[in-house]
Structure 1
Amino acid sequence: MPSSPNSDTGLFVEHSVARLIETALLEQQARYMVATGGPEPAPGTGLLRIGSAQAGFRGVGHPSNRVTAFGMSEPVTPDQIDAAEAFFRERAEACRVDACPLADQSLFDLLRLRGYTLNSLTNVLVRTCPSPHEDLSSTDGVVVRRIGPESAEVFSQTLTKGFHGDQEPPPVYRGIAKLCFSIPEARPMLAEIDGRPVGGGTVEFIGEVACLYGAATIEAFRKRGVQTALLRHRLKLVRDEAATGSAIRVVMIQTRPGSESERNIVRAGFRLAYTRPQLVRTV
């Protein structure tokens, strides 16, 4: 009998697991800085390692513009904050810090003293790798398939419509979904109903972490099981990857707190690990 997805997927998130997650996101940020096939990198694109943390910039307003993993492996010093702020000041961008709540207290003390304010909150949800007995059967009427670079334009158009509807996306987001095709560890996939593309999403393998991200469904096809189908198909890929010998400890996904999609994510066996604030200061 297939197991319930919620019966044995729990994962206690102590500091070592949080560090694993935040370090994986650091690596993902680095991969996207050099990815090709989408928008051309803007002047100033690059990375700066700051101890075990990292600052990244790929153009004004780009979602990868932030500092990742501060305080996850050692206390944060004023000089390190200075370095991050100088990096973004040179690029006329605010300094945004993804501050994991399990980071060293020095991070929060220093950011408070410098007047950082809350920019956003992100829920980080995690689960274990699916077992061979977990039911990940397909959703009726929805076909999900892994795609290659030849489908990059369709994938990009589908996600753009899923995220932005009929509105024109900001310039920095145009074609951004195509970048994953140049990352060998990423597995983009397309969801179809009656042969029509209706949604998409990606899973990326980063060491011991499988990261699910970038999923969207075109509005006219929501509430028809597309998100569930994308979740299950990506979890199948995680299970298949683990079967080849990959030591996947954590499967993770990030959402806005209280978003409608979070309900389906929890049904797929994920549990809230922590809510991460992004703190910002104009420099």
Structure 2
Amino acid sequence: MNWLLIVTRALAERLEQSEIDYMISRVNAIGQREGNPMGAEVRQFGGATAFYVHEMPWGSFNTVKGVREEHIDYIDEIISFFRERSRSFQFEITPANSSSELLSYLTDRGFRQSGFHTVLYGMPNAEEEPAYAAGIAIRELKADEFELYGKLHCLGTGLNVDGAGHVADNNRVLYDQPGWRFYIGFVDDQPAGVAVMYMHNSTASLTFAATIPAFRKRGLQTAFLHKRCYDAAIAQCDLVVSQAAYASISQNNMERAGLRIGYTRAVWTSHS
């Protein structure tokens, strides 16, 4: 059996690094927009990486990844980094990096666990092109279609469609960045959803996918999964990584598509 099918510490570290890599690429690209209008920053604290985006107050864009026990001496500095920016944030802690010393230190600083998030993985296979449910079609997004991308992104995630232009701008900057691919999906010839993938160091991260409500339960999300996994294999990636809310429909779809659970990471937030 291939070692990649078994969860080892080495595999867990590779899964986590894939998330760090795509977030560094994404947030740095957002920060390179003229004048940095979103207020994006990436900061290293030892081996931990902090992400901050002023105009995106959500936890996923104001977070610390890769933190472990040997970074305890940096935690107060990390907390100060976000407090200077008046921003709530989260620490993401994987089982492989967890320790009683680290968790006790975070507790002493007013943090506690507030949730879990599932990380899944699989080995892409290029032996057979994916087949989709009836009425489903997928192709790569064109450079001049980001306004449509922004609208589908917002409708698929429940964001106000008035923000579609901002979503478009923050993703358009990734289009020509190495490793990024954007997809648009159709149901009965109607634009119905979008998906994104980032490839780096032979690892493909399935970073985003959403279907607008009117076209759900038609198989588009499963099709997005199979399409990206196939393209990852063609691009010589030997690992696919994705994330989902624990026991969510997204996680269920990923498992049905052949991905397996690598671990559930803990989310720690401040309650002081």
Q: Sort the TM-score into its range (normalised by shorter chain).
A: 0.7 to 0.9
Q: Which range moved further: 54-63 or 142-151?
A: 54-63
Shift of 1:69: 0.7
1:1-283 → structure 2 map (5 Å cutoff): 11-36=5-30, 41-42=36-37, 45-59=40-54, 61-62=57-58, 63-71=60-68, 75-105=69-99, 106-133=101-128, 136-164=130-158, 167=160, 174-175=167-168, 176-242=170-236, 248-281=237-270
Instruction: Quote the Cα distance in structure 2 between the aligned partners of 1:188 and 1:43.
Output: 21
- The CA RMSD over aligned residues, in Å, is 2.8
| Alignment-mate amino acid for residue 94 of structure 1 | S
Structure 2: state its 5+ residue gaps. Answer: none
Structure with the higher helix share, 1 or 2? 2
Query: Is this contact kept in 1: 2:150–2:164, CA < 8 A?
Result: no
Q: Report SS of the residue matched to 1:35.
A: helix
Q: Percent identity?
A: 24
CA deviations on 1:19-60 (whole Å, 9 max, x unpaired) are 112122112121112224989745753121111111111115
Residues 107/130 of structure 1: CA separation in 2 closer, same or farther (3 Å cut) = farther
| Alignment-mate amino acid for residue 221 of structure 1 | F
Residues 8/51 of structure 1: CA separation in 2 closer, same or farther (3 Å cut) = closer
Residues 156/44 of structure 1: CA separation in 2 closer, same or farther (3 Å cut) = closer
| Alignment-mate amino acid for residue 231 of structure 1 | L
Question: For this pair of structures, how many residues does the alignment match?
Answer: 267
Moved over 6 A (4+): 7-10, 37-40, 169-173
Q: Which range moved further: 140-149 or 75-84?
A: 75-84
TM-score normalized by the length of structure 2: 0.87
| Alignment-mate amino acid for residue 217 of structure 1 | T
Q: Report SS of the residue matched to 1:150.
A: coil
| Alignment-mate amino acid for residue 69 of structure 1 | G
TM-score normalized by the length of structure 1: 0.84
Structure 1: state its 5+ residue gaps. Answer: 1-6, 243-247
Shift of 1:206: 2.1
